[in-house]
Structures are given as C-alpha cells and as structure tokens.
Amino acid sequence: MSRILHRSLRHTPPRAAGGEGIVLRDTHGRSYLDASGGAAVSSLGHAHPDVIAALHRQIDRCAYAHTAFFTTDVAEELAERLVANAPAGIGGVYLVSGGSEAVETALKLARQYFVEAGQPQRALFIARRQSYHGNTLGALAVGGNEWRRAPFAPLLADVARVSACYAYRGREHGQTLDGYTAMLLDELEAAILQAGPQRVIGFVAEPVVGATGGAIPPTPGYFRGVRALCDKYGILFIADEVMCGMGRTGTMYAIEQDGVAPDLVTIAKGLGAGYQPIGAVLVNGAIVECLRAGSGAFLHGHTYVGHPVAAAAALAVQQVIERDDLLAQVRKRGASLRRMLDEAFEDHPHVGDIRGRGLFLALELVRDRAGKEPFDPAVKLHAAIKDKAMQNGLLVYPMGGTIDGRRGDHVLLAPPFIASEAELAEIVGRLSESVDSALKSVAL
Ligand code: PLP
C-alpha cells in the first residue's frame, strides 16, 4: 500500500510517467488522451517546450526569495500583464499558490476593505447552491457543494445561499429565459434585504459553473443584473474564475462575455496550466487604494506567495497564449467540439443537456430525457464513465450530485487549447464508447 493518502484510501491510481501535447502516459506504457486537462488545468497540454525553458531559466536565476524581503522581476512582469488584460477597474494582483488560497485571499481582502472603509458591520457573504470555491474552510463555507461541505459543516462560517443559474433544471415550465433570470435576481435581492444590505460583504459566484454543475453558463443578462444589485447595495462582486478563467471559454475571463466587471476575480488552474502551483486574486484599484491610504497593508500572507518559479510558469503560459493566438483557437476548436458532441449525443436517450462555452463543455446524463429524471445516485454512473474512459485511454472529469449534491451526473470536458480537430474527434469517439459501456454496466 502507498504511504500517500490518495483521493481514495482504497485504491492507488496509476503512476503518471510523463506526456506530450494532449497525451499523458503511465508507467505501464499506457497512454491517455487528456480531454479534461486534469480538472481544467493543462490548457497548453503537457511538456510545452516554451514553458519548460522558462522554468529552467528562472530556477537558474532565482528559485526563491521570501516576499517579506524581496519582490522579483518575474512576479512584477506577470502582475503587469495580468492587470493589463484584466476586466475594467482591476488595479492590483495578489499572487498565491492555488485556487482555494485565491478564494480565501479574496474573502479576507473583501472583509478588510470594509473594515478600513468604515463599514465593519459588513460580515456576511452571499453565494450560490451547486458551486465549488475550494476545500479550505473559508472557501468551503462559500461553496455550495453539499457532499463536500457536509462533514465539516459545524466548522464553516454562515453564508447566505441563493439558487444557481441553471436553466436546464431551474427554469419553470413555460417560463421564458428572461423570466427565469428575473426570478433569480429577485431571489438575490430578497436574500440581500433579508440579511440587511449593510451587513453584506459580497456576492461570490463562478461565471460558468465548473466541477459541481458541469460547465453551466449563465443566462443572458444574469450577471448584469447581479452587478446592478451589488452596486445598488454597495456589495462587492467576487467572480471565481479559478476553473473557467484564463482563456478556457474563449476570452481571457469568462465574465467578459457577460459585459460585466467584478471587484475581485480569483484565478488559478489555467494560470500556470499545471506547470507550477499558482493562483491569484485580481483586485479593483479602489480597494487597493483604500488599504494603501488606511492601514497600509493587507493582513495576509503565506510563505510561497509570489513564488518566482510559479510566476515564471504563469508568465510563459500567458506569453504562449498571446503569441499563438490561442484565444481565437479556443473559440474555433470550442465550436468544433460542440458540433461533434451535438452530432454524437443530441439524439442519445440518456444525454439530457449539452452545454458550456469555448473548450469548457459538459454532458448531463439522465435516465429519461422527457422527464429529466436522473439516474439512481447509488449506481454511480459518473464513476463508471470515468473508469470506462480510462480503460479506453481517455481522461474526462465526470461528477455526481449535479442537481443537489446527491442526484445527477455530468461529464466535464476541458481539453488543452492546442488540441487538433482530429484529436477532438478521437476524444468524442472514445467518450461515446465510454458512456455507452458505462450505461450498460449500471442497471438501467
Ligand atoms: N474555485 C473553483 C471555481 C474551482 O473549480 C476550484 C477547483 O476546482 C477551486 C476554486 C479550488 O482550487 P484548488 O483546487 O486549486 O484549491
């Protein structure tokens, strides 16, 4: 038995030996098409020569310097680039080591901002059901992923909760999309009023819901409505783009497509594309200025914030995305993948919804399409699909509990931006086989 506490304590996964492009190999020589980039991480695929060269250069130059004493050229250059390409109003960057840290940092920054802005009574976050914001206690508290939260619930801060924007399930019979959006915004406003508008710090949401719901895009106008409510009540809008950001949806930030500028944006995963652990919080300039004029410091910090090697990976990834025009590539390949999925699954009796943006797409599985009835959670269809896919040399990111933390199954796809049309076709072919053999293996 391995000494590592793996994700399952009963099963040791195969050992990864290495990879190239969209392929990963294990130590038995089996290869896998990486159609999910792990968990929407490996946006440039594996062993990208430019990123690896940048890492070697940085390690030779300066592998580490503690941020209580120094900054580095590479971290400064990364921050300049991130701010230059960020949504309107962003004026600063706080560099951390991953997504959960980014969310924790954003929550603390938002709270300290109101303390320093003379509104210390603001102490509550509002967030959505069926969301995931990370596994540390603050991030888990704002997250709405019920099975991840349940054992730790007594340790978690109170968070007010509203519905996800999930039209496939949430829209009532005969309701227009605009009517559904208006209903959700009314619910958010009611939650703000119930909490007491002057008590709320911020509203936290994933612009395109990732792991918990499976690439659920917002309805048109939803985030414009959210922004308007936040402005009306002086509340911060925190966009968690850890999974959907950094080009994954075809624009650098998913929220750009909704025409809205958040006050804080969390990013990770695609920022370093797996070459190094790195995350960041992008911060509105007014928040930075408030702290600068007030206490002069953000009361926060970790040993590895601003790590120069991590910053070098992220900078190289950003440079490759720009040089190779990969956002345009994501839009083009995303449209192709969507077409291929539609062709393979739109008449499939057990695929209820195909959705997403760019190269961030998902299938939701149902027992019957007309009634949208999910499979019995006990059969763990999502786990069967993952196993069959791995047997077929395919890595996808299926999850259960899509509807309410318990019921529902989806399969998330987030292939590297560099995937070719032929590779996408191969992914869809293998996925189709894997879904069908998983369906056969569970009692229908
Ligand atoms: N926020 C979102 C939207 C995520 O999808 C994730 C991870 O899946 C996180 C936060 C947490 O990131 P990490 O796993 O890097 O801590």
Helices (H), 299-325: 308-323
The pLDDT tens digits of the residues spanning 237-253 come to 999 999 999 999 999 99
| Domain boundaries, given as residue ranges, for the chain | 16-47+325-441, 51-323
* 98 CA distance to ligand 1 middle (Å): 8
Identical fold at 16-47+325-441 and 51-323?
no
pLDDT above 70 for 195? yes
**Best CA proximity match to 301, nearest among 118, 54, 69:** 69
Q: What DSSP state is assigned to residue 323?
A: H
pLDDT above 90 for 205? yes
CA distance 136 to 147: 15
| Ligand 1 atom closest to 277 (CA) | 15
pLDDT above 80 for 342? yes
- Percent of the residues in the chain that have a pLDDT greater than 70, as a whole number: 100
* 297 CA distance to ligand 1 middle (Å): 26
pLDDT above 90 for 194? yes
CA distance 160 to 200: 9
* 241 CA distance to ligand 1 middle (Å): 9
Calculate ∠ Cα 371-348-215, nearest 5°: 75
The pLDDT tens digits of the residues spanning 278-290 come to 999 999 999 999 9
- Cβ(412) – ligand 1 distance below 6 Å: no
Name, in order, each residue with C-beta under 8 angstroms of 338's C-beta and a sequence gap of 6 or more.
354, 356, 361
What's the chain's length in residues?
444
- Cβ(92) – ligand 1 distance below 6 Å: no
Asked if 264 and 238 touch (Cβ cutoff 8 Å), the reply is: yes
Q: What's the whole-model pTM score? A: 0.98
pLDDT above 80 for 129? yes
What is the per-residue burial (b if ≥16 Cβ within 10 Å, else e) of 276-300?
Answer: bbbbbbbbbeebbebbeeeeeebee
CA distance 442 to 114: 52
- What is the best residue among 101, 142, 242, 249 to mutate for testing ligand 1's pocket, by most ligand atoms within 8 Å of CB? 242
- Cβ(103) – ligand 1 distance below 6 Å: yes
Give the strands of the sheet with 397-400, arranged side by side.
351-357, 360-365, 409-413, 397-400
- Cβ(39) – ligand 1 distance below 6 Å: yes
Give the strands of the sheet with 90-96, arranged side by side.
90-96, 279-284, 264-267, 236-240, 200-205, 124-128, 159-162
pLDDT above 90 for 146? no
Residue 142 pLDDT level (bands cut at 50, 70, 90): very high
- Cβ(290) – ligand 1 distance below 6 Å: no
- What is the best residue among 42, 104, 130, 132 to mutate for testing ligand 1's pocket, by most ligand atoms within 8 Å of CB? 132
Angstrom distances, CA of residue 23 to CA of 37, 92, 273, 276, 324: 10, 36, 15, 19, 20
Residue of the CA atom closest to atom 14 of ligand 1: 99
Residue 444: predicted pLDDT: 60
Name, in order, each residue with C-beta under 8 angstroms of 64's C-beta and a sequence gap of 6 or more.
307, 308, 309
CA distance 211 to 214: 6
Residue the block writes with tokens 């077409």: 339
* 400 CA distance to ligand 1 middle (Å): 17
Domain spanning 51-323: CATH 3.40.640.10: yes
- Cβ(240) – ligand 1 distance below 6 Å: yes
* 260 CA distance to ligand 1 middle (Å): 22
Asked if 271 and 241 touch (Cβ cutoff 8 Å), the reply is: no
May I ask the CATH class of domain 16-47+325-441? alpha beta
**Best CA proximity match to 159, nearest among 225, 238, 269:** 238
Asked if 277 and 292 touch (Cβ cutoff 8 Å), the reply is: no
* Helix (H), strand (E), coil (C) string for 84-137: HCCCCCEEEEEEECCHHHHHHHHHHHHHHHHHHCCCCCCCEEEEECCCCCCCCH
Name, in order, each residue with C-beta under 8 angstroms of 33's C-beta and a sequence gap of 6 or more.
22, 23, 393, 394, 395, 423, 426, 427, 430
The pLDDT tens digits of the residues spanning 360-408 come to 999 999 999 999 999 999 999 999 999 999 999 999 999 999 999 999 9
**Best CA proximity match to 259, nearest among 92, 87, 91:** 87
The mean pLDDT value of the chain amounts to 97
pLDDT above 80 for 443? no
